[in-house]
C-alpha cells in the first residue's frame, strides 16, 4: 500500500514541477491516522548530479463526504496564515479532481519538532508554566489577526451584525442534527437558541476549531508551529476557546481548563464573557459528532473510517464532556447515556 502511494506521489510531483530534474520520492512513512485525514511524511530529491536539492514534506489525504471542501479550506487558510506571519507549515500543492489516490490531498512543508502535549505534561513546574504561556500566546495571537483576509467578502460579514456567527453556528448545528433520527440533542440546541441574545460577537476572529497541545510542534529552539487546520475559518473566538478548554479538561483534568483560561485572559488583557454558553456549544459538537459517528459511521461526518475505533477508546473523556453538559444545563441525553453504559 505504501509503495503504491510512493510511486503515485513521485509521478504526480514530477508532473507538478516539470522544471525539477530527476525527481525521486523516498522515505514515505505514515505518521498519523487521525479522525479526519491520513498523514504521510516523505522526502523529495531533485536536480542534476552534484547539485541535488532535498525537501522534507507532508502528504495529507482527506477522506469522507466533505473531503474536497476540507482540503481547499485547509490549504487556503494555511496560505493566508503563513502570509500573515503566523507560524504554520508552508503549503505547496492542493489537488482535488486529479488526485492519483482517488481523494483530495495537500502537500506541505514538514516541521522538525515534537508535539507539545507530552513535553508540557512531563516538564518541571517552571518549564510547564513557560510552555503554557507559549501555547496561550499563539492562541491569543491567532484570534487577534485581521479576519478580513480569511473571507471572500468582508463587507457582507460586517453588515450582518454581532449575531451573525452565533446564528450561523446554530443553523449549521440544526442542519447537522436533522441529518439523523430525532434525538435528545435537540434539547441542547433549543437551550442554546433560547440564550442566543446574550452572546453578541464583539469582534470576528480567525479560528482553528481544534487547538490543543497535540496540534503544536515544539522545535529545538523553543519556537512552536501550529498544525492541523482542517476546520480553519472565521467566527467568534469563544467557540474556539471553549473547544480547547473542553478537549484539554476532558482528557487531562479540570485543572487544565482553569490554567488555560486564566492565562488566555491574562495575555488577552480582558475577561472572556459568557464562556459557559460556549462550553455548551462545544459539548453539543463533541457529544453529537461522537454519537453520530458511532451510530451511523464516521464518513457521514467527513471523517476517516478508523475514527470509530479511536472514539470508542475515549469513552472516559466522553463521560467528562457529558458531566460538563449536565453541570451547565441539567439536560440528559438518552443517546449519550446508552453509549456510556453499553459494553465496550
pLDDT in tens, 273-304: 999 999 999 999 999 988 887 776 544 444 44
Per-residue pLDDT, averaged over 199-211, amounts to 96
- Weakest-pLDDT range from 159-168, 199-208, 218-227, 297-306: 297-306
| Distance in angstroms (rounded) separating the CA atoms of residues 286 and 245 | 12
Nearest to 71 by CA among 43, 44, 98: 98
Mean pLDDT of 308-326: 80
pLDDT of residue 301: 47
Instruction: Classify domain 2-109 at the CATH topology level.
Output: Phosphorylase Kinase; domain 1 (3.30.200)
Of 63-72, 109-118, 322-331, minimum mean pLDDT range: 63-72
pLDDT at 178: 93
**What gap in Å lies between CA 270 and CA 264, rounded to an integer?**
9
Q: Record the pTM.
A: 0.91
Q: What's the CA gap between 138 and 205, in Å, rounded? A: 13
Q: What are phi and psi of 121, to 5 degrees?
A: -70, -30
Note the pLDDT of residue 155: 85
SS3 readout for 130-145: HHHHHHHHHHHHHHHC
What is the greatest pairwise CA distance in the chain? Answer: 69
Question: What single-letter DSSP state applies at residue 32?
Answer: E
According to DSSP, the residues that pair with 295 across neighbouring strands are: none
In this prediction, residues 209-224 reach a mean pLDDT of 97
| Mean pLDDT score, 157-162 | 86
Asked if 212 contacts 116 with a C-beta cutoff of 8 angstroms, the reply is no
List b or e across 231-253, with b for residues whose CB sees 16 or more CB atoms inside 10 angstroms: bbbbbbbbbbbbbbbbbbbbbbe
What pLDDT was estimated at residue 341?
86
Distance separating alpha carbons of residues 279 and 282, to the nearest angstrom: 5
Q: What is the mean pLDDT of the chain?
A: 92
Of 330 and 314, more confident: 330
Cell readout for 243 is 473547544
Q: Can you tell me whether residue 288 is helix, strand or coil? A: helix
Helix (H) / strand (E) element for 285: namely helix 275-296
Cross-strand bridge partners of residue 172: none
Q: Evaluate if residue 101 carries a pLDDT over 70.
A: yes
Q: Is 297 left (phi over 0), alpha (psi -120 to 50) or beta?
A: left
- Angstrom distance (rounded) from CA 46 to CA 250: 46
State the CATH architecture for 114-341.
Alpha-Beta Complex (3.90)
Residue in this structure with the C-alpha cell 508554566, named with its chain if needed: 129
Average of pLDDT values for 133-157? 94
Q: Which residues make up the CATH 3.30.200.20 domain(s) of the chain?
A: 2-109
Residue 202 C-beta-side C-alpha neighbours within 13 Å: 9
Chain region(s) in the chain for CATH 3.90.1200.10: 114-341
Amino acid at each position: 500500500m505504501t509503495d503504491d502511494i510512493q510511486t503515485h506521489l513521485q509521478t504526480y510531483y514530477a508532473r507538478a514541477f516539470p522544471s525539477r530534474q530527476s525527481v525521486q520520492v523516498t522515505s514515505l512513512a505514515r505518521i498519523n491516522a487521525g479522525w479526519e485525514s491520513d498523514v504521510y511524511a516523505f522526502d523529495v530529491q531533485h536536480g542534476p548530479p552534484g547539485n541535488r536539492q532535498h525537501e522534507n514534506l507532508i502528504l495529507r489525504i482527506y477522506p469522507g463526504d466533505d473531503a474536497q471542501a476540507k482540503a481547499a479550506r485547509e490549504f487556503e487558510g494555511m496560505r493566508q496564515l503563513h502570509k500573515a506571519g503566523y507560524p504554520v507549515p508552508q503549503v505547496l500543492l492542493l489537488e482535488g479532481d486529479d488526485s492519483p489516490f482517488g481523494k483530495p490531498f495537500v502537500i506541505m512543508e514538514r516541521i522538525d519538532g515534537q508535539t507539545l502535549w507530552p513535553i508540557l505534561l512531563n516538564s518541571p513546574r517552571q518549564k510547564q508554566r513557560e510552555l503554557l504561556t507559549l501555547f496561550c500566546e499563539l492562541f491569543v495571537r491567532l484570534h487577534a489577526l485581521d479576519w478580513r483576509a480569511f473571507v471572500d467578502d468582508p463587507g457582507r460579514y460586517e453588515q450582518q451584525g454581532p449575531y451573525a456567527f452565533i446564528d450561523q453556528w446554530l443553523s449549521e448545528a440544526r442542519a447537522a442534527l436533522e441529518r439523523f433520527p430525532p434525538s435528545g440533542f435537540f434539547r441542547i440546541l433549543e437551550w442554546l437558541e433560547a440564550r442566543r441574545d446574550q452572546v453578541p460577537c464583539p469582534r470576528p476572529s480567525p479560528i482553528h476549531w481544534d487547538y490543543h497541545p497535540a496540534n503544536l510542534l515544539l522545535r529545538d529552539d523553543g519556537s512552536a508551529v501550529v498544525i492541523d487546520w482542517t476546520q480553519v475559518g472565521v467566527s467568534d473566538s469563544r467557540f474556539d476557546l471553549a473547544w480547547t478548554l473542553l478537549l484539554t479538561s476532558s482528557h487531562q483534568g479540570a485543572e487544565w481548563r482553569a490554567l488555560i483560561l486564566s492565562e488566555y485572559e491574562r495575555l488577552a488583557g480582558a475577561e472572556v464573557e459568557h464562556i459557559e454558553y460556549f462550553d455548551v456549544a462545544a459539548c453539543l459538537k463533541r457529544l453529537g459528532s461522537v454519537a453520530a459517528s458511532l451510530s451511523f459511521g464516521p464518513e457521514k461526518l467527513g471523517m476517516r473510517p478508523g475514527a470509530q475505533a479511536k472514539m470508542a477508546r475515549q469513552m472516559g473523556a466522553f463521560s467528562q464532556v457529558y458531566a460538563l453538559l449536565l453541570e451547565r444545563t441539567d439536560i440528559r441525553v438518552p443517546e449519550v447515556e446508552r453509549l456510556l453504559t453499553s459494553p465496550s
